């Protein structure tokens, strides 16, 4: 089962890195929950994830999400990753600055029937905003 989950998560991150909205959606259950803790956003169902992905790619056309560690325990996984890109457009609450970013983060993922049922992302919004020039960078 862990090999199946690893392949699912690798497909998930690859789809995000190719701006493949349908590929992203295919990784999730119909009743999925996707939470971005930094943005304080909770999306429910595939349509919620679809809208979030579309908004992300509209604001950050070169978005990449690269896993560096994938740990699996039964039907749960923890990942460490880095997201990169250049925010050229506005994202809800964050104006486009044309600046590039590289921010590490992690996710806790719950799998059901070979798909992602729940995904919680944790990353530093302060780091991101600092790299965007929207707040002072951390020392």
User: What does the pLDDT read at residue 58?
Assistant: 97
Q: What is the pLDDT of residues 32-43, one digit of tens each?
A: 999 999 999 999
CATH class of 2-89+97-131: alpha beta
Percent of the chain exceeding pLDDT 70 equals: 98
Max CA-CA distance within the chain? 44
CA distance 88 to 126: 18
Tell whether the model's pLDDT for residue 138 goes beyond 70. no
Work out the average pLDDT over 75-80.
Answer: 98
pLDDT category of residue 139 using cuts at 50, 70 and 90: low
| Pairing of the two strands 115-123 and 28-36 | parallel
Domain locations in the chain as residue ranges: 2-89+97-131
CB atoms within 10 A of CB 116: 23
Q: What is the pLDDT of residues 93-136, one digit of tens each?
A: 899 999 999 999 999 999 999 999 999 999 999 999 999 999 88
Tell whether the model's pLDDT for residue 61 goes beyond 80. yes
Q: Cα separations (Å) of 17 from 2, 13, 126?
A: 22, 6, 23
User: What does the pLDDT read at residue 13?
Assistant: 98
Work out the average pLDDT over 61-75.
Answer: 97
């Amino acid at each position: 089962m862990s090999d199946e989950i690893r392949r699912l998560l690798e497909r998930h991150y690859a789809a995000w890195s190719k701006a493949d909205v349908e590929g992203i959606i295919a990784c999730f259950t119909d009743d999925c929950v996707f939470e971005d803790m930094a943005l304080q956003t909770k999306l429910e169902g595939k349509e919620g994830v679809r809208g979030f992905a579309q908004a992300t790619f509209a604001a950050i056309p070169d978005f990449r999400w690269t896993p560096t560690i994938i740990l699996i325990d039964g039907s749960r996984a923890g990942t460490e990753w880095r997201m990169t890109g250049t925010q050229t457009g506005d994202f809800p609450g964050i104006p486009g600055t044309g600046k590039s970013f590289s921010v590490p983060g992690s996710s806790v993922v719950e799998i059901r029937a070979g798909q992602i049922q729940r995904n919680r992302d944790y990353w530093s919004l302060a780091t991101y905003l600092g790299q965007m020039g929207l707040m002072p960078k951390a020392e």
